């Protein structure tokens, strides 16, 4: 079997696949004005057969894990059908999603029954008013209830992501709140550094702060750095034997962040992106139209690996084709 490897010896067992750009939240760092139709691109989102063929091709290139992202992936009416097909008709080992948690209390059992292997939930603050100000939705309590339901169903591969925002959710009080939460809840909580995209420069300049402040908090509170597996990516993970949950940091502006890159990305309209912040993308959708195109699809993907750069160069202000994070799933 041929495997995905670039010129720097990095292997890619993991794909992030956006299945929609539509999102029902209005987070300031992503879609502050909500989802707006891109009138310059009238292509429809990948259909279920295209998604199946894409997943099959990647799985035959050694990909073991696919994350369904958006936008908000669960807004698709065929979302659960997509999960079912990926679970039953491919050789993938892990199907996971990233969600904003909208109606999670109502969807929790459906998500478990679908066969999902993991769920990442975006919760930028445990303070209800802060959460509302960031997302423009007062839905924190229903999301937390949803997590409780997931746990009651013995679903324990739960991660919570928060974008670290200077002066908003970056205080010791915020850190202590999460510390108290994961002391009694078996979840992995990660802070993600705010990233500059094509349309958020003012927001970035106002709210970006280095994750070093959270790392210092962890070091001062007896958290122990933990190594991680092949498909975990560049997150820094920390454990404490007195806590049920774990802490993590995703610091894209840190030195050598890209050395452990292990993922490629597919946009909701069928473009292959070698990097979230790359300057190039190539459509592979024309090779997703028939079941007999798999070998041609695999050859095209393999041929693109030589173009993957060593770094995203975010520290130089390069944002590539990423206008906002809903385009490529963040």
Question: The pTM is what?
Answer: 0.92
Instruction: Please check whether residue 51 is in contact with residue 19, taking contact to mean a CB–CB distance below 8 angstroms.
Output: yes
Average pLDDT over residues 186-211: 92
pLDDT of amino acid 92: 96
Cα–Cα dist 169/17, whole Å: 28
**Residue 225: count of CB within 10 angstroms of its CB:** 12
**Structural domain includes residue 117:** yes
Written as six digits, the tokens of 248 are 């993590």
Nearest residue to 327 via CA among 4, 14, 41: 41
Whether residue 167 is contained in a domain is answered as no
3-class SS of residue 218: helix
Q: Is the peptide bond before 114 cis (omega within 30 degrees of 0)?
A: no
- pLDDT, one tens digit per residue, over 4-56 is 999 999 999 999 999 999 999 999 999 888 888 888 788 999 999 999 999 99
Which pLDDT belongs to residue 183?
98
Distance CA 255, CA 200 (A): 23
Total of domains in the chain: 1
Query: Is position 5 within any domain?
Result: no
Establish if 144 belongs to a structural domain. yes
Phi, psi of 243 (to 5 degrees): -120, 145
| Domain assignment present for 169 | no
Q: If you write DSSP's letter for every residue of 97-141 in order, what string do you get?
A: EEE--TTHHHHHHHHHHTT--EEEEE---SSHHHHHHHHS---HH
* Biggest alpha carbon–alpha carbon distance for the chain: 57
| Domain assignment of residue 141, given as a range | 14-157+257-316
Average pLDDT, the chain: 91
> Which of residues 320 and 213 earns the better pLDDT score?
213
CATH of the domain at 87: 3.20.20.70
Please check whether residue 3 lies inside any domain of the structure.
no
Residue 68 falls inside a structural domain: yes
92-133 pLDDT tens trace? 999 999 999 999 999 999 999 999 999 999 999 999 999 999
Separation of alpha carbons 178 and 195, rounded Å: 22
pLDDT for the residue numbered 326: 58
Question: CA-based Rg of the chain, rounded to a whole angstrom?
Answer: 19
Q: How far apart are CA 21 and CA 323, in angstroms?
A: 12
Residue 259: the pLDDT is: 82
Residue 192 lies in a domain: no
């Amino acid at each position: 079997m041929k495997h995905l490897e670039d010129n720097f010896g990095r292997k890619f067992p993991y794909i992030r696949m956006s299945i929609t750009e539509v999102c029902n939240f209005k987070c300031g760092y992503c879609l502050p004005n909500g989802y707006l139709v891109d009138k310059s691109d009238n292509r429809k989102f990948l259909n279920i057969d295209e998604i199946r063929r894409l997943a099959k091709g990647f799985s035959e290139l050694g990909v073991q894990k696919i994350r369904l992202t958006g936008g908000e992936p669960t807004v698709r009416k065929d979302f659960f059908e997509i999960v079912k097909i990926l679970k039953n008709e491919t050789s993938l080992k892990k199907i996971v999603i990233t969600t904003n948690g909208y109606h999670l209390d109502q969807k929790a059992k459906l998500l478990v029954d679908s066969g999902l292997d993991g769920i990442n939930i975006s919760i930028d603050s445990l303070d209800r008013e802060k959460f509302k100000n960031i997302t423009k939705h007062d839905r924190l309590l229903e999301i937390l209830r949803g997590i409780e339901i997931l746990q009651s169903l013995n679903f324990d591969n739960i991660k919570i992501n928060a974008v670290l925002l200077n002066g908003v959710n970056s205080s010791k009080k915020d850190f202590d709140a999460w510390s108290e939460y994961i002391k009694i809840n078996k979840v992995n909580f990660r802070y993600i550094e705010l990233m500059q995209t094509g349309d958020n420069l003012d927001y970035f300049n106002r709210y970006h702060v280095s994750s070093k402040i959270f790392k210092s908090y962890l070091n001062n509170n007896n958290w122990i750095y933990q190594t991680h597996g092949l498909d975990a990516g560049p997150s820094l993970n920390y454990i404490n034997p007195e806590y049920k949950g774990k802490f993590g940091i995703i610091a894209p502006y840190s030195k050598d962040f890209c050395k452990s890159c292990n993922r490629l990305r597919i946009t909701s309209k069928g473009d292959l992106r070698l990097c979230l912040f790359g300057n190039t993308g190539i459509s592979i959708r024309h090779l997703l139209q028939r079941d007999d195109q798999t070998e041609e699809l695999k050859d095209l993907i393999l041929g693109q690996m030589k173009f993957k750069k060593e770094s995203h160069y975010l520290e130089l202000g390069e944002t590539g084709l990423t206008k906002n994070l809903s385009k490529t799933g963040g």
